[in-house]
A = this chain, B = another copy of it.
Amino acid sequence: MSDVTWREIEAAARRIAPLAHRTPVLTNASVDRRAGAAVRFKCENFQRTGSFKFRGAANAVAALSPTARARGVYAHSSGNHAQALALAARLHSAPAYIVMPSDACPVKRAATEGYGARVIPCPPTDEGRRTTAERVGDETGATFVHPHDDPLVIAGQGTAVAELVEEAGDLDVVLVPVGGGGLLSGTLIAIRRLHPRARVIGCEPARADDAHRGLLAGRRIVDFVPETIADGLRTPLGERTFEIIRRLVDEIVLITDDEIADAMRFVWERMKIVIEPSSAVAVAPLWTGAIAVLGRRVGIILSGGNVDLPGNVLPSRPSSRRPSRRPR
């Protein structure tokens, strides 16, 4: 099952090099001061389509045979995978079919269509989604690309930490968000090859703690009701990612929604970059005390920056003010 190796990550890096951004690695004095650590942020919020998901999707599409590519790819997703796969397909002139619940956010639907995908609405149930996806697959002959439980997708996600290590050098600790586990799996496989002694910590919302509970129970947990603000992390681990993570991860830490919100605000205010709640999950442990970071070199994958900005994020009603004058 756990058939993704460093070799596949190297191959993914070569395949996606002409397509994906090599995202910057940022540091921030306020973060380092608050954490008492030397933190390096790999900024996948600056990746194409706004998240690391583009790496896995681009690798999966690039690996298809010309015939398969001509038939296209499909997935069901209303999140970052939808946009990532849509763009990856467009860059290879392949059709993309995205099954999306009929109640999905219109902005995300428009963004996915903007990348040239055909969006097929489905009833917002597991059953409705499954049967619609099956029908799309049957009718088009397209290849299904899973958002996380696919070896090519996992290998693609592993390229992010490989670039981080290349730029930042040795790291003592690597913090990665956990949802479906694709990013964490790819990171683990890469780090175990590049820096076997680095601790890799999966960071999971306390209100979507299937990975944490699953590792304790020794079996994948799928029946749970996630209620976290980190909407990208509401998915349970896949069968493949569960096995990789169980074998290689050092620890899963749980982060509350308040801690996520605090970390997200801190990054927006101090680093002046937009990250989504699912990224903030991996920042919060710097100062919640969940893990020891004092004096350590810490790498963090900021997984994405796709948030629906509320209408009132902008200061819309200026206060009427007297004119300022120079002092005499």
Interface residues of A (CB under 8 A from B): 24, 45-46, 50, 76, 125-126, 129-130, 133-134, 144, 146, 149, 207, 222-229, 231, 234-236, 238-239, 257, 261, 264-265, 268-269, 272-275, 277, 305, 307-310, 312-318, 320-328
The residue in chain B whose Cβ has the minimal distance to the Cβ of A126 is: B325
Residue in chain B with minimal CB distance to A328: B130
Q: Is the CB–CB distance between A45 and B315 below 8 Å?
A: no
Q: How far is the CA of A326 from the CA of B239 in the complex (A)?
A: 9
Q: For the complex formed by this chain, how many copies does it contain in all?
A: 2
Is the CB–CB distance between A229 and B316 below 8 Å? yes
Instruction: Taking A130-B327, A149-B326, A261-B316 as given, write out 17 further A-B residue pairs in contact, using a Cβ cutoff of 8 Å, ordered by the A residue number.
Output: A126-B325, A130-B328, A133-B327, A222-B323, A225-B323, A234-B321, A236-B323, A236-B324, A257-B316, A265-B314, A269-B274, A272-B273, A274-B274, A277-B314, A310-B310, A310-B313, A313-B313
| Contact in complex: A227, B320 (CB < 8 Å) | yes
Least Cβ–Cβ distance between A138 and chain B, in angstroms: 13
List of B residues within 8 angstroms of A274 by Cβ: 268-269, 272-274
Give the residue name and chain of the B residue nearest to A107 (CB).
Answer: B269
